Amino acid sequence: MPEITKRVHRLADGRELIYFDDVDSTLPPDRAPDERLLDERPPTATMRQDPLTGEWISIAAARQNRVVMPPAALDPLAPQSATNPSEIPSNYDVAVFENRSPSFGPALPDAGDPAATLGSLDGIGLGRESPSYGRCEVVCFSPAREGAFGSIHRSRARTVIEAWADRTAALSALPGVQQVFPFENRGAEIGVTLQHPHGQIYSYPYVTPRTERLIASIDEYGPTLFADILDHERRGPRVVLSGEHWTAFVPFAARWPIEVHMLPHEHVPDFAATTPAQRDELAVLYLRLLRGVDALYDDPTPYIAAWHQAPVATHRDSIRLSLQLTSPRRGADRLKYLAGSEAAMGAWIGDVPPEAQAEALRAAIARADEENPV
């Protein structure tokens, strides 16, 4: 049977570039070298601890130099040409490369460095600093210059999922990496600076605050929290899409006007642990979900598609891989802004009843299925 093919290369400054070719790819196996003259990579950023919360903040000043809304002819994620000296030398199906201006990395702790162990950043203190170890990668879903995950075809979606699984395994094995997070930001309203269909993968040197809160809930409730949530939602009115291996639903206590969670029916801690059958079905259901979200209104919906995975070294048997897709869009021409209560106090106020949004999403998915079947 044909397989998705992985081809590893290097960019001119030494960063890793990986091509993932579709099962039905028409591309030749050879890839052009990157012949640009590039500056040295910026130094690894430094994290500082906020003693009021214990959270670590990466001060990544090099990100100020990243490309913001370039003209269409200068797309840094499109294949290189004589007039477009982009990051990717050859045409591709899916391409993954190290971010030139990362929030974490490129440095990793040496063997024996305490920073390589879980818990090395625990505790509270004043003036605490630590290197922003880790790695940040860009995942290009297509060579097309505009679009999002929902605009690619089924075979390409399967290739992206395979890339997520491959990179999750590889990044989880790096020294000092404690959690791996694939995500897609879509839309200028979210802060997207490139219209090219792409996502990112962050590899953190700590367990993130959102996951720390989840761990506290699991420790309080018990290790069956995800299984029980899924069972509860599958018997309720908020399911929007379901298959043999996955179910998507609007959560009972949705914070955002549009919020959808998706869980696998069997426990898997991350993409690397998913089976081929789970990946095959996800390629279909995820496309249907995203196209349905876009069909809610007459123009594309901004969103953050966050794939939460278990940390590398803890709670692997109780934290389940899950999608949390959120959008601030609360109407055709209205956005939810995080103001005093949400931004300052973390006390959320929902704008749309979850049951009403689930009903609207089911109808939108049905329209999208009819107009653009996967």
Domain map (residue ranges) of the chain: 5-206, 211-371
Q: What is the CA radius of gyration of the chain?
A: 21
Task: Based on DSSP, count helices (H) and strands (E) in the chain, helices before strands.
Answer: 6, 16
pLDDT range class, residue 116, cuts 50, 70, 90: confident
Neighbours of 118 (CB within 10 A): 14
**Rounded distance between C-alpha atoms, residue 344 and residue 149, angstroms:** 32
**Rounded distance between C-alpha atoms, residue 46 and residue 130, angstroms:** 6
Neighbours of 363 (CB within 10 A): 14
Residue 2 has pLDDT above 80, yes or no: no
The predicted structure's pLDDT at residue 323: 98
3-state secondary structure 90-106: CCCCEEEEECCCCCCCC
Please name the residue that has the structure tokens 């049951």.
355
Q: Between vectors from CA 247 to CA 323 and to CA 293, what angle results, nearest 5°?
A: 65
Q: Exposed, middle or buried by CB within 10 Å (0-12, 13-18, 19+), for 340?
A: exposed
pLDDT range class, residue 1, cuts 50, 70, 90: low
Mean pLDDT of all residues belonging to the chain: 95
The predicted structure's pLDDT at residue 5: 98
**Rounded distance between C-alpha atoms, residue 222 and residue 273, angstroms:** 22
pLDDT per residue over 251-280, tens digit each?
999 999 999 999 999 999 999 999 999 999
Residue 169 has pLDDT above 70, yes or no: yes
Q: Which two tokens stand for residue 258?
A: 């549009």
Enter the pTM of the model.
0.96
Catalytic-role residue among 9, 153, 196, 198 = 198
The pairing of beta strand 322-327 with beta strand 258-264: antiparallel
The H or E element that residue 208 is part of is: none
Going edge to edge, which strands form the sheet with 246-249?
5-10, 16-21, 94-98, 135-140, 198-204, 179-186, 303-308, 322-327, 258-264, 246-249, 239-242
- Give the mean pLDDT of 2-8: 94
pLDDT per residue over 185-231, tens digit each?
999 999 898 899 999 999 999 999 999 999 999 999 999 999 999 99
**Rounded distance between C-alpha atoms, residue 152 and residue 145, angstroms:** 12
CATH superfamily assigned to domain 211-371: HIT-like (3.30.428.10)
pLDDT per residue over 20-30, tens digit each?
999 999 999 99
Residue 73 has pLDDT above 90, yes or no: no
Active site (annotated) includes residue 198: yes
pLDDT range class, residue 98, cuts 50, 70, 90: very high
> CATH fold of 5-206, please?
HIT family, subunit A (3.30.428)
Residue 69 has pLDDT above 80, yes or no: no
- Give the mean pLDDT of 292-299: 97
Neighbours of 321 (CB within 10 A): 22
